[in-house]
Amino acid sequence: MADKGTGSGSDKGNPNGDSNENPVSDYRNTLENLVQQFQNSNPMGQQHKFWETQPVGQFKDVGNASVPEGSIEEPTPISEVKQEPYNLPSSYEWTVCDMNLDEVCAEVYTLLTNNYVEDDDHMFRFNYSKEFLRWALCSPGFFSNWHIGVRVKGSGKLVAFISGIPVKMRVRDQVFKMAEVNFLCVHKKLRSKRLAPVMIKEVTRRIHLENIWHAAYTAGVLLPTPMSTCQYWHRTLNPKKLIDVGFSRLGDRMTMSRAIKLYKLPTSTASSGLRKMERRDVPAIALLLRNYLSRYDVAPDFDEEEVEHWLLPRDNVVDCYLVESPETHEVTDFFSFYTLPSSILHNPNYSTLRAAYTFYYVSTKTPLLQLINDALIIAKLNDYDVFNALDVMENEAFLKELKFGPGDGQLFYYLYNYRFRQALKPSELGLVLL
């Protein structure tokens, strides 16, 4: 199991507003094409020895209609799962990271802040807040020993981390208990120690001990074998800052004043009955979301406790707004976004890029375009610099219209111990991983 910590995450945007040059999901990057590109650039075939030993779809099977879809390996008795942790190099030791302890949470935060996902040009690095990490890792039913650290024996310094959380995931018509694996991070100075494969095997071992045999994860790099290939899109909210820090650039036909005018938003929302979600709204939101996600081939199977955890607003972590009918008080629509800033590296004037990321939404009465435009307005009023969205779910329907521009990288979605005959289109995916 792996996560997006192995590749580019802070994708830079295109502020030109010329979306005709950037078709949404034209599927020019089919899985077959991506695999061909990988093989052409790696003629010795030596890049994925680890993943070739794992129960994941293999590149050699792509396009082979005779390969069955579904679980690759059947569960084994828990007694047959390795009971002892995998061996680390002699100067390192495993540790469980209790995120409820302030000092441990601070250690994980510091490790990620200094060593986690950067863009390819080393201009931006994800900067998950401590509150965000607790939200992401301490979800309902979480296992503390799935929050795995590696320390230096002599100093006790935390130098690597990987995590998992338990989820219920529907794949086609079957609901699986799964793990979502995330935040794989190794200190920059230790990248040659080959810690990552051992950490992946260790988190897999601990997940198996809970009788869970499947997992979902993302990466910014191509591994065997994605279930879907998605792209980040960026909606400029603060064009001057984004251009000043190098996140965006002015196109040949664009001036700063034109960019500011192009991305200007109304100062008030358009949806009647729009308000912030409250705890009393959990049952209504859960019902809307479960019905909505049922249309996708892969999506989480949320219960009310999980909806409360993931969507109830938390300052500078996650926001959720709903539309309540003024007449009937029925909750008909909602949208949510989470807050994930990036550190701005090597810039004398700015240190933080404040970014909102589209999370889950449902549109039944309010047009989706209007709903998401209201989300942009709220984000702008709360001093976000950019609003990001993947091309999953129905996002294609609003990306061009609301002046999102494509980022310069891709995000690959994976399932562990599950093989698809054919890769899913992003629009067949109802899953957002943090």
Q: Is the pLDDT of residue 45 over 60?
A: no
User: What integer pLDDT is reported at residue 51 of this predicted model?
Assistant: 83
Q: Is the pLDDT of residue 11 over 60?
A: no
Name the residue among 7, 4, 10, 9 with its Cα closest to residue 352. Answer: 10
Q: Is the pLDDT of residue 307 over 80?
A: yes
**Residue 78 CA to chain centroid, in angstroms?**
30
Mean pLDDT of 117-146: 93
The residue that leads in pLDDT, 236 or 10, is: 236
Q: What are the structure tokens assigned to 34, written together?
A: 């991506």
Mean pLDDT of 22-45: 54
What band does 99 get if pLDDT is binned at 50, 70 and 90?
very high
Rounded CA-CA distance 105/302 in Å is 26
Mean pLDDT of 410-434: 94
Q: Is the pLDDT of residue 36 over 80?
A: no
How crowded is residue 366: how many other Cβ atoms within 10 Å of its Cβ?
22
User: What integer pLDDT is reported at residue 8 of this predicted model?
Assistant: 35
The residue that leads in pLDDT, 107 or 36, is: 107
Name the residue among 388, 324, 322 with its Cα closest to residue 356. Answer: 388
At 343, is the secondary structure helix, strand, or coil?
strand
Q: Hey, CA dihedral for 37, 126, 242, 337, is it positive or negative? A: positive
What band does 2 get if pLDDT is binned at 50, 70 and 90?
very low
Q: Is the pLDDT of residue 108 over 60?
A: yes
What band does 58 get if pLDDT is binned at 50, 70 and 90?
confident
At 47, is the secondary structure helix, strand, or coil?
coil
H or E stretch including 368?
helix 368-381
What Å distances lie between residue 268 and 3, 35, 44, 318, 379, CA to CA? 38, 47, 57, 20, 11
Name the residue among 85, 188, 181 with its Cα closest to residue 142. Answer: 181
Mean pLDDT of 67-89: 95
User: What integer pLDDT is reported at residue 30 of this predicted model?
Assistant: 64
What band does 13 get if pLDDT is binned at 50, 70 and 90?
low
Strands (E), 138-227: 147-152, 158-171, 174-186, 214-219
Q: Is the pLDDT of residue 84 over 70?
A: yes
Name the residue among 24, 134, 10 with its Cα closest to residue 388. Answer: 10
- Residue 100 DSSP code: T
Mean pLDDT of 300-324: 98
Q: Is the pLDDT of residue 17 over 80?
A: no
What band does 200 get if pLDDT is binned at 50, 70 and 90?
very high
Q: Is the pLDDT of residue 328 over 90?
A: yes
Mean pLDDT of 291-302: 98
Phi and psi (nearest 5°) for 216?
A: -120, 145
Rounded CA-CA distance 61/22 in Å is 30
Mean pLDDT of 226-244: 96
**Residue 2 CA to chain centroid, in angstroms?**
12
- The two beta strands, 174-186 and 214-219, are parallel
User: What integer pLDDT is reported at residue 15 of this predicted model?
Assistant: 41
If you average pLDDT over every residue of the chain, what do you get? Answer: 90
- The two beta strands, 124-126 and 386-390, are unpaired
Please give the biggest Cα pair distance in the chain.
67
Q: Judge whether 150 and 158 are in contact, CB under 8 Å.
A: yes
With both helix axes pointing from N to C terminus, report the angle between 304-311 and 282-293 in degrees, rounded to the nearest 10: 100
- The two beta strands, 158-171 and 147-152, are antiparallel
Mean pLDDT of 8-25: 44
Q: In what order do the strands lie in the sheet with 124-126?
A: 124-126, 342-344, 352-353
The residue that leads in pLDDT, 230 or 252, is: 230
Mean pLDDT of 121-147: 95
What Å distances lie between residue 117 and 61, 170, 258, CA to CA? 30, 28, 32
Domains by residue range for the chain, with CATH? 21-228 (3.40.630.30), 231-409 (3.40.630.170)
At 302, is the secondary structure helix, strand, or coil?
coil
H or E stretch including 104?
helix 102-115
The pTM of the whole model exceeds 0.85: yes
Name the residue among 383, 384, 390 with its Cα closest to residue 355. Answer: 384
User: Which of 142-151, 165-174, 404-413 is predicted with the least confidence, judged by mean pLDDT?
Assistant: 404-413
Phi and psi (nearest 5°) for 106?
A: -65, -35
What band does 35 get if pLDDT is binned at 50, 70 and 90?
low
Q: Is the pLDDT of residue 9 over 50?
A: no
Mean pLDDT of 73-89: 96
User: Which of 143-147, 192-196, 306-310, 351-355 is predicted with the least confidence, judged by mean pLDDT?
Assistant: 192-196
What Å distances lie between residue 128 and 106, 125, 190, CA to CA? 11, 10, 21
Alpha-helical (H) ranges within 186-299 are 195-208, 239-244, 256-262, 282-293
Rounded CA-CA distance 94/214 in Å is 23
Rounded CA-CA distance 212/336 in Å is 29
Residues marked active site are found at 434
The residue that leads in pLDDT, 177 or 23, is: 177
Considering the chain, what percentage of its residues have pLDDT values greater than 70?
Answer: 89
Alpha-helical (H) ranges within 159-281 are 195-208, 239-244, 256-262
